[in-house]
């Protein structure tokens, strides 16, 4: 296990510990007992010796034996686990009147093998995904336009069989939009449909609205 050496200081409050650690930010390790019972405590370590609590995901490629780049192993090499083990052993002895020091000394830590994996960079993967979406967008737009046009033609054919004009189809759409208090931009090649449906009509000539 990692060795822990240094001096021991007592503080009346956690604020006193924090103030003292400002002079030696990388050399202070604190134990803060919560409440009146010693069974509830928390450990205070320098931020650069342990991973942040929010670091719940990390690549496993850097986790090897005696590796300083593996954040999960830093709990072991920084002395965090050793200090926690000593405090827990003392609490167990105090509560049960039985010593567990001999059992604690027989514990061994082994870095387990890593499963096979293929590392994928996130940025190229995101760029490829965006280009794939852009590549298939015209195809999807073509399908949507053709499906809508096919349904429109079928409705118009049904209306012709019933003796109705095309303008009745567009008046129904206009009434539906008014009922839902919405708006829409419709494009057509026939002025009859535009005048029957739209409140405002614009003509596109050489790329300009008139």
pLDDT digits (tens, 9 = 90+) for 61-119: 556 655 666 776 777 777 888 888 888 888 888 888 888 888 777 777 776 655 555 55
Q: Which pTM does this prediction carry? A: 0.44
What percent of the chain is predicted at pLDDT more than 90? Answer: 0
How high is the mean pLDDT of the chain? 72
What percent of the chain is predicted at pLDDT more than 70? Answer: 54
Give the integer Cα–Cα distance in Å for 183 and 58.
Answer: 48
Q: Is the pLDDT of residue 28 over 50?
A: yes
Position with higher pLDDT, 43 vs 192? 43
Q: Is the pLDDT of residue 130 over 80?
A: yes
Position with higher pLDDT, 77 vs 25? 77
When pLDDT is cut at 50, 70 and 90, the band that residue 3 belongs to is very low
Give the integer Cα–Cα distance in Å for 43 and 17.
Answer: 12
Convert the chain into a string of H (helix), E (strand) and C (coil): CCCCCCCCCCCCCHHHHHHHHCCCCCCCCEEEECCCCCCCEEEECCCCCCCCCCCCCCCHHHCCCCCCCCCCCHHHHCCHHHHHHHHHHHHHHHHHCCCCHHHHHCCCCCCCCCCCCCCCCHHHHHHHHHHHHHHHHHHHHHHHHHHHHHHHHHHHHHHHHCCCCHHHHHHHHHHHHHHCCCCCCCCCCCHHHHHHHCCCCCCEECCEEC
- pLDDT value at position 207? 64
> Residue 129 has which token pair?
């995904």
């Amino acid at each position: 296990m990692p060795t822990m050496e240094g001096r021991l200081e007592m503080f009346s409050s956690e604020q006193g510990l924090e103030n003292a650690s400002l002079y030696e930010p990388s050399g202070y390790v604190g134990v803060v007992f919560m409440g009146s019972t010693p069974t509830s405590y928390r450990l205070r370590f320098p931020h650069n010796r342990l991973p942040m609590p929010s670091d719940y995901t990390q690549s496993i490629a850097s986790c090897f034996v005696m590796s300083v780049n593996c954040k999960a192993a830093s709990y072991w090499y920084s002395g965090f686990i050793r200090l926690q083990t000593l405090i827990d052993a003392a609490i167990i002895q105090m509560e049960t009147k039985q010593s567990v020091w001999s059992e604690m000394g027989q514990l061994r830590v082994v870095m387990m093998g890593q499963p096979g994996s293929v590392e994928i960079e996130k940025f190229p993967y995101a760029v490829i995904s965006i280009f794939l979406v852009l590549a298939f967008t015209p195809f999807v737009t073509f399908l949507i336009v053709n499906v809508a046009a096919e349904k429109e033609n079928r409705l118009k054919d049904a209306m012709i069989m019933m003796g109705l004009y095309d303008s009745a189809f567009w008046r129904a759409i206009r009434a539906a939009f008014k009922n839902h208090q919405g708006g829409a931009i419709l494009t057509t090649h026939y002025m009859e449909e535009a005048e029957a449906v739209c409140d405002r009509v614009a003509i596109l000539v050489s790329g300009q609205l008139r």
